[in-house]
Chain A
Amino acid sequence: MYAYVLRRLLATIPVMAVVAVFVFLLLHLAPGDPAAIIAGDYAQPADIARIRTELGLDQPIYVQFWRWLWSLLHGDLGVSIFSGLPVTRLIAQRLQPTLAIASGTIVMAVMIAVPLGVIAAWKAGSWIDRLIMVFAVLGFSIPVFVIGYIFIYAFAIALPLFPVEGYAPIERGIGPFLHTIFLPCFVLAILYAALLARITRASMLEILTEDYIRTAHAKGLSSRTVLVTHALRNAAVPIATVIGIGVALLLGGVVVTESVFNIPGLGRLTVDAILHRDYPVIQGLILVFSLIYVVVNLLIDLSYAVFDPRIRY
């Protein structure tokens, strides 16, 4: 077990190393002088020269990389060009809403998608199966921000149940907090649930043809018991795997949703950073988002043993 955890932890190092190299090269692959890009469109030559020496951009590229990596490993992501604040502080300030929406979405999506996928597989070929699959394709085909605006119109303007925009931090009480994140989570959960419902249905369909399912039915167990304890439990590993892979999609969706609902999270920070061409912030954000993806997938890999006792590390 410990050996497996250690091996799995070590396997994340090359992934994050690739991300780090990519993020570093991002600025250097850009056509033109990085110092001029950072200085902006209206900079004087003197400003550009000052930025070049300040950021060490006049050094050879491998020296720059080592310096950058060294400070990265010490938790230093540099300083925002636009606000002058440390990137780590900017990210820490904005982390809560993003994590709240992402985890809320996963919970909501699983609650929607797993029952739908199970029912679709159980009633495969029926109209209810078709209906659920139509939902799954639709959820995948409508851009998240279009769903977002339709829901704002329906549930915040026409029927004022939820706020149109904004975020109440959890420190202000759990009630207002849930009230503000419900709609953004629900919007994102539709996209995520579409993905999960498809995979749940597919895994269940495969498992429902197994001999032990027939045996369970033959023993006279109720359909419910067969579906939930015999079939779903075995479908849990592929479903969990797709939850992990879907985190990349989810984090992209969070960026968009925060922007629609005007929530001050990492997504808003990303959009603001693009508008100001604030490269250190963009670099830091990509690293943080990738780290979230890698950590979630690590946890999911380790969770397989919980779902399936046959798996031993």
Chain B
Amino acid sequence: MATTATGIEAAARRRPARFAEFARRNPTMLAGLVIIAAMAAVAIASPLIAPHPLAINPIDRLKPPSAAHPFGTDMLGRDIFARTVHGGRISLLVGFSVAALTTVFGTAIGLVAGYLRRLDAFVMRVMDGLMAVPGILLAIAFMAIASASVMNVVVAIAIAEVPRMVRLVRSVVLTIREQPYIEAAVSIGTRTPKLILRHILPNTIAPMTVQATYVCASAMITEAILSFLGAGTPPEIPSWGNIMAEGREFFELTPWIILFPGLFLAATVLAVNLVGDGLRDTLDPRIARRM
């Protein structure tokens, strides 16, 4: 017991030192994490910070930023600050959901394609075909047949992102499967599912995590673009893309309607990209040299 207690104490004493070391080595990654945490906190607390993102106030139409409306108002007199604060919810939700969905499906397909050679050629031709369609158009095409909802936006963007994840995971599997320890595992009679999950999957985690952060960043931008083009999140939901879409008509008069949500979106995407770069450098120095 005593040894465990001292062990924990020692770990606790080491922790600040380790944090300082981490901060010194990855200042940009730390900045990214802080921005994401702040955005997430604002998004979660948005009902408290700004309770009425949908409140219409026709007297205060298209007002420039002021004390009452720090980010100004739109053509219905809605407070851009309140809407921007709420908009973070959609962007973060879409970003992280797409990253999760892409990782699950991309990894599953990539593992199977990389390990089972019979399926490989077919699966990869399908992925090549999907990659030939620009991601935004693939998502647009999906949204054109599906009804406008946040869930469909997530699915649409994930469909466009999966092929790249498949390629990545497959390329890792192809190098791992030639390793002697895989041969050893096969020779002692390890079954294929166990072989894939126990011996191959763990090797894909580092590059997969890095790719997932980039997917998250690109998904947030794609959501904004889809909403901006009128093929994304339903217009009544104040997502950053929707707020900006509504600001287009009056842009010359009221640039703040596009500028403020645009800044929030750019800051969030930048933060996720910085974390991605940091993860890449930490987890896999070999990719760091290649990128």
A residues with CB within 8 A of B: 14-19, 21-23, 26-27, 29-31, 37, 137-138, 140-146, 149-150, 152-153, 157, 164, 198-199, 202, 205-206, 248-249, 251-252, 255-256, 259, 270-271, 273-275, 277, 279, 282, 285-286, 289-290, 293-294
Contact A141 B251 (CB under 8 A): no
- What 1/0 mask marks residues of chain B from 221 to 244 whose CB sits below 8 Å from any chain A CB? 100110011110000000000001
B12 within 8 A of A: no
Q: A277 vs B269: C-alpha distance in the bound complex, in angstroms?
A: 31
The complex places the Cα of A294 from the Cα of B126 at a distance, in Å, of 14
Contact assessment for B137 and A149 in the assembled complex, using a CB-CB cutoff below 8 Å? no
Contact between chains at A137 and B274 (CB < 8 Å):
yes
Question: For the complex, what is the distance from the CA of A271 to the CA of B136, rounded to whole Å?
Answer: 12
Query: Which residues, 261 to 287 on B, are CB-close (under 8 Å) to A?
Result: 262, 265-266, 269-270, 273-274, 277
Q: Are B128 and A274 in contact (CB under 8 A)?
A: no
B108 within 8 A of A: no
Q: Which A residues touch B273, using CB under 8 A?
A: 137, 140-141
- Chain B residues whose CB sits within 8 angstroms of the CB of A149 once the complex forms: 251, 255, 258-259, 262
In the complex, the answer to whether B133 meets A290 with C-beta atoms within 8 Å is yes
Tell me the minimal C-beta distance from A36 to chain B in angstroms: 12
A19 with B129, Cβ < 8 A, contacts A153-B255, A271-B229 known: yes
- Of the candidates A138, A141, A252, which one forms a contact with B217 in the assembled complex, judged by CB atoms under 8 Å apart? A141
- Once the chains are docked, how many angstroms separate the CA of A20 from the CA of B189? 43
Shortest 5 CB-CB distances between A and B: which pairs?
Answer: A18-B129, A252-B136, A30-B145, A146-B262, A141-B270
Size class of the B contact interface (CB-based, 8 Å): 35 or more
Asked if residues B128 and A14 are in contact (CB atoms below 8 Å), the reply is yes
Binding site for A on B (CB under 8 A): 125-126, 128-138, 140-146, 217, 221, 224-225, 228-231, 244, 251-252, 255, 258-259, 262, 265-266, 269-270, 273-274, 277, 289-291
Contact A143 B137 (CB under 8 A): no
A-B contact pairs, 22 of them (CB 8 A): A17-B129, A22-B130, A26-B145, A31-B145, A31-B146, A137-B270, A137-B273, A140-B269, A141-B269, A142-B266, A143-B269, A146-B266, A149-B251, A153-B255, A206-B289, A206-B290, A255-B134, A256-B228, A273-B144, A275-B230, A289-B133, A293-B132
Residues of B within 8 A of A144 (CB): 225
Cβ-closest chain A residue relative to B142: A26
Q: Chain B residues near A252 (CB, 8 Å)?
A: 134-137, 225
Q: Report whether A15 and B144 are in contact in the complex, using a CB–CB cutoff of 8 Å.
A: no
**In contact, A145 and B228 (Cβ under 8 angstroms):** yes
CB pair A286–B137 under 8 Å, yes or no, is: yes
Apart from A21-B129, A31-B146, A137-B277, 16 more pairs, CB < 8 Å:
A30-B145, A31-B145, A143-B221, A143-B225, A146-B265, A157-B252, A198-B291, A205-B289, A248-B131, A255-B140, A255-B229, A256-B136, A275-B230, A285-B137, A290-B133, A294-B132
A277 CB contact (under 8 Å) in B144, B224, B229, B274: B144
> Is there an interface contact between A274 and B136, defined as CB atoms closer than 8 Å?
no
Give the tally of cross-chain contacts (CB within 8 A).
151
Contact A152 B266 (CB under 8 A): no
* B247 nearest in chain A by CB position: A149
Measured CB to CB, the closest approach of chain B to A291, in angstroms, equals: 8
B262 touching A142 by the CB < 8 A rule?
yes
Residues in A whose Cβ lies below 8 Å from that of B291: 198-199, 202
Q: Give the interface centre of A198, A274, A285, A294 by most chain B CB atoms within 10 Å.
A: A274
Contact A286 B255 (CB under 8 A): no
Q: Kindly report which residue of chain A lies nearest to residue B145, judged by CB atoms.
A: A30
Task: Evaluate contact between B125 and A14: CB separation under 8 angstroms.
Answer: yes
Q: Closest approach, in angstroms, between the C-beta of B200 and any C-beta of chain A?
A: 26
Min C-beta distance of A115 to chain B, whole Å: 20
- B132 CB contact (under 8 Å) in A30, A275, A290: A290
Instruction: Kindly state the separation between the CA atoms of A15 and B121 in the bound complex, as whole angstroms.
Output: 12
**A153-B257 Cα distance, complex, nearest whole Å:** 13
Report Cα–Cα, A140/B125, bound state, in Å: 28
Q: Give complex CA distance A19, B126 in Å.
A: 8
Smallest Cβ-Cβ distance to B121: which chain A residue? A14
Tell me, in angstroms, the Cα distance from A274 to B290 when the chains sit together.
39
Give complex CA distance A43, B68 in Å.
Answer: 47
Chain A: CB-nearest residue to B229: A271
Q: Quick check: B146 and A251 within 8 Å, CB to CB?
A: no
Q: Write the nearest CB–CB distance from B135 to chain A, whole angstroms.
A: 6
A72 to chain B, nearest CB (A): 15
Are B229 and A18 closer than 8 Å at their CB atoms? no
Within the assembled complex, what's the spacing in Å between the Cα atoms of A282 and B138?
10
Chain B residues, CB < 8 A from A274? 140, 143-144, 229-231
Query: How far is A259 from B225 in the complex, measured between Cα atoms in Å?
Result: 11
CA A31 to CA B274, docked complex, whole Å: 39
Q: What residues of B have a CB within 8 angstroms of the CB of A150 in the complex?
A: 259, 262
Determine if A26 and B141 form an interchain contact, defined as CB atoms under 8 angstroms apart. Answer: yes
What distance in Å separates the Cβ of A45 from its nearest Cβ neighbour in chain B? 21
Residues of A within 8 A of B265 (CB): 143, 146
Please name the residue on chain A nearest to B251 by beta carbon. A149
Complex Cα spacing A252 to B229, Å = 12
